[in-house]
Amino acid sequence: MLQAPQRTGLSGPTLIRLLTRLTDVDVPESRQSLSDHLSQWLGWTDAIALSAALNTSPPVIAPGARMFSSAEERECARVRTTLADAIASDTAATSAKRIVPGQAPAKKSAAVEQAEADYSNFRQRYLSLQHTMETSVGNLRSRLRGMVAAKNGEMTRLAVVDAIMDRALLPKERALFGAIPKLLQGHFERLRLAEAAALAPVDAPVDASVDAPVDAPAAEADAAPPTDGAAKLDNGNGKAPAPATAPPPVTPGAWLDVFRKDMRSVLLAELDVRLQPVEGLLAALRAS
């Protein structure tokens, strides 16, 4: 089984550590704090909006707003499960070429599938799943934000800050997440080349004894049985050395299964990052 190259991962979310391990990019760990990064990502209009939200009195809560209940907890769990199931089923079914509707699927050998593998299909599916995650998580976040705002004045302030940060950071978030398929393309090609090298035929050794004369005494010496001392190992246990274990054979096309598994792991790690604001809003609702 082909394995991804082992690299020293950075500290941080699982998504960062996975990409560090799977890619060929050596990125030093940032020494900047989160607040320093945010100051670079927020524009001056966002800074003004945040300052106003933090320094002015929160708006008055309208009566009759819907309150938080276990139904929202179940909805958050349902969204997470639905997205995780979509990631698992899609990455498992992604093949070299999509079957056209109405066309009977043709059985292909692993070698044929490997030869026809095209990363553009995987990239398309990754981007599609990213769009699904952004839409579903965004709708859930907006719903919870409205419930947070309906609690009290301070919670309303929190909801306003979350809305400003959501709007301000969305372009940066899309750019960063959008770079992941490009990083995975390098991993895809490295796995393909590694298996091709492992399956490449090895040149047969040249038998020099065919044309060269054989020295009879040397041949007899070579054919003579080894002495008792020569048969013993260096540790003196008297046992003949065990034959070297041959490496397991490489299954043609196995690299595609490795890539699908790695792609699924990265998508699930990305889902966890996207759900962090939702988890924060849930924690605020539970504590209020």
97 has pLDDT over 50: no
**Cα-based distances in Å from 90 to 117, 230, 238, 253:** 16, 60, 57, 19
Q: Are 159 and 221 in contact (CB under 8 A)?
A: no
* Token couple for 63: 């009566």
Cβ neighbour number for residue 104 with a 10 Å cutoff: 7
pLDDT band at 40 (very low <50, low <70, confident <90, very high): confident
pLDDT given at position 231 = 47
Q: How far apart are the first and last CA of the chain?
A: 51
Q: Which residue has the tokens 């274990």?
A: 245
Give the CA radius of gyration of the chain: 30
DSSP 3-state of 265: helix
Q: Distance (Å, rounded) from C-alpha 205 to C-alpha 247?
A: 20
Higher pLDDT, 179 or 108: 179
The highest-confidence range among 102-111, 120-129, 212-221, 223-232, by mean pLDDT, is 120-129
Give the list of residues 6+ apart from residue 278 with CB closer than 8 angstroms, or none: 76, 137, 140, 141, 144
Domain ranges within the chain, ordered by starting residue: 39-97+116-199+250-287
For residue 28, what pLDDT band results from cuts at 50, 70 and 90? low
Task: Map tokens 């599609």 to a residue.
Answer: 128
CB 288 within 8 A of CB 48: no
Instruction: Return all residues near 232 (Cβ < 8 A) that are at least 6 apart.
Output: 238, 239
Closest by Cα among 115, 105, 127 to 181: 127
Whether residue 208 is predicted with pLDDT greater than 90 in this model: the reply is no
Contact present, 258 and 120 (Cβ < 8 Å): no
Q: Name the residue among 222, 168, 129, 140 with its Cα closest to residue 51.
A: 168
Q: What is the per-residue pLDDT across 50-81, written as a single tens digit (0 to 9) for each?
A: 888 888 876 666 655 556 667 888 999 999 99
**At a CB cut-off of 8 Å and minimum separation 6, what does 19 contact?**
180, 183, 266
Pick from 288, 265, 212, 280: which is nearest to 21 by CA? Answer: 265
> What tens digit of pLDDT does each residue of 114-170 get?
545 789 999 999 999 999 999 999 999 999 999 898 888 889 999 999 999 999 999
The Cβ-side half-sphere exposure at 187, using a 13 Å CA radius, reads 29
Q: Identify the weakest region by mean pLDDT among 45-54, 108-117, 266-275, 278-287.
A: 108-117
